[in-house]
Amino acid sequence: MNVRQQRWADLSLLLVTLVWGGTFVMVKGATETFPVWAFLALRFGLAALVLLPFGWQRLRRLGWRGWGAGALIGLALLAGYAFQTLGLQYTTASKAGFITGLSVAIVPLLSALLLRQRPKYAALVGVALAVVGLALLSLTNGGETTGELQRISEGDVLVLLCAVSFALHIVAVGALGSRHDYLALTIVQVFTVALLSGVVSLFVDLPWPALQANTLFAAAFTGVLATAVAFLVQTAMQRFTTPTHTALIFTAEPVFAALFGVLLAGDVMTPLGLMGGVLILLGTLISELPWDQRAARLISRFLAPHYVSIVILLALGLLDPHGWWYGLAWVVGLALPVVGLALLVLKRALRQGRISDWHITERTERLQWRLVASSLGLSLLPVLVLALLDGPRYLLMAFGATLVLVLINTAITVWWKVSQHVSGIALGATLITGVVGPTLIPVLLLIPLVAWARVRGEAHTVPQTIAGGTIGVGVALLALRLFGLV
């Protein structure tokens, strides 16, 4: 698979996910002044018109079985969008995005019930996490910041039915889609939704109110971009990337939905609600990932301490008590350049053949004096600068803890090997959780996830990963204690 093509494919799919995430706020606003069934008929009617030129010749070869399969799948698709659109009238766009994302975690259960496919252990764990996340998300007051428990809203129930319907749609496509032309089958699905929505609208919505500009724009955006164009892009680009990449990218949809909901619609995410959303995302990822060596390599690559540290430092800078702008200035001026230098040192060592891989798996390679000196120097420098210039406390704490971790791991490496990968992730996850509070407790799940990846990828043994995680958490707790945060 061409790396350049894969990157463009991943970027295209991420843009598709961004578009999907933006539809929640748009649909919620449009259906406040326009009937739901009429809006669905308009949206999917436009989508059918856009898709028809690309597949009308294939429709003739579909046959009556293909038309029947497309109509049956279209019924599940109709139920999904109908429940979602109706539910958005009674819940926030942010919560609707997270709850809709449950559909991926529900798929293994429906497959077990309908197709007699035994769910994997990872799928059951993912569903359990997602259900806990759903409870936290739905049992909090979305309109206040108290986070007090309340009854589940009507909108949350409707969107949950939407997630079940979308999961049923995925199972139906998996069972019937491989037997027929996918593009032609999709046109039949879209046409089915448009036709049935229009029929229901004739009995429920008449007379239609006058089309307003925001309603027409929302129908055009969701019908043309979020349905027709998004499908064409997905079909064209998914050939150049892996199913794992696609699944990981698509889990960003509820994140974008929540982001747009907060920025554009004024949604309020309580701490418990935010924790629930994170658990739903984790449950979806656990359910979707194929837990093999390829997934282990993917997790090790993208959740490496070099990359995660950038996110942690940015978060700590933005949370600075003096103001986010003050912390961000220090991150951009000091923290990120230090991380960049560390990456350049590793890249040069890898290019010169002094290390065999990006994570320096071999113990003897870690003891090279140049690498040891670079690690200690790049950890000590920001500590001195931050201490002398009275920089942000959280950044001083993070770099101070990193310096201690480097010293401990280097000393141990003289006679044994611990997983520095896991220790770095454990340090960062524990620090950010300690600073923010219980809301980010799900972030700690990164520690066993990365530990599994390192063991599954045969980079470390179980004792080495346990030791790395224990050291990372221990150093972080010590730093939090010294800075009065625990």
Q: Rounded to 10 degrees, what is the CA torsion of 278, 279, 281, 286?
A: 140
How far is it, in rounded angstroms, from Cα 14 to Cα 80?
22
pTM to 2 decimal places? 0.63
User: Positive or negative CA dihedral for 358, 12, 258, 158?
Assistant: negative
Q: Rounded to 10 degrees, what is the CA torsion of 350, 353, 355, 356?
A: 90
pLDDT in tens, 129-159: 777 777 776 665 444 444 444 556 788 899 9
Predicted pLDDT of residue 148: 47
- Long-range CB contact pairs, 14-17, < 8 A, 24+: 14/249, 14/252, 15/233, 16/230, 16/233, 16/234, 17/249, 17/250, 17/252, 17/253, 17/256
* Judgement on whether residues 323 and 406 belong to the same structural domain of the protein: yes
Of the candidates 242, 244, 300, the one whose C-alpha atom is nearest the C-alpha of residue 458 is: 300
Q: In the numeric block, which tokens belong to residue 164? A: 């079940």
Tell me if 296 is assigned to some domain: no
CB 193 within 8 A of CB 37: no
Predicted pLDDT of residue 44: 92
* Judgement on whether residues 279 and 152 belong to the same structural domain of the protein: yes
* Judgement on whether residues 315 and 458 belong to the same structural domain of the protein: yes
* Judgement on whether residues 328 and 271 belong to the same structural domain of the protein: no
Structural domain that includes position 344: 301-482
How far is it, in rounded angstroms, from Cα 410 to Cα 29?
57
* Residue numbers in the chain where pLDDT is lower than 50: 141-149
* Judgement on whether residues 347 and 254 belong to the same structural domain of the protein: no
* Judgement on whether residues 109 and 174 belong to the same structural domain of the protein: yes
Picking from 291, 320, 335, the residue at the C-terminal end of a domain is 291
Predicted pLDDT of residue 243: 54
Q: Is 149 helix (H, G, I), strand (E, B) or coil?
A: strand
Query: 266: phi > 0 → left, psi -120 to 50 → alpha, else beta; which?
Result: left
* Judgement on whether residues 265 and 391 belong to the same structural domain of the protein: no
Predicted pLDDT of residue 334: 94
Q: Which residues contact 96 (CB under 8 A, 6 or more apart)?
A: 24, 28, 84, 87, 88, 155, 159, 257
Predicted pLDDT of residue 94: 79
Predicted pLDDT of residue 79: 93
Predicted pLDDT of residue 144: 44
- Number of C-beta neighbours around residue 337 at 10 A: 13
The total number of structural domains in the chain stands at 2
Predicted pLDDT of residue 151: 59
Predicted pLDDT of residue 280: 74
Predicted pLDDT of residue 146: 44
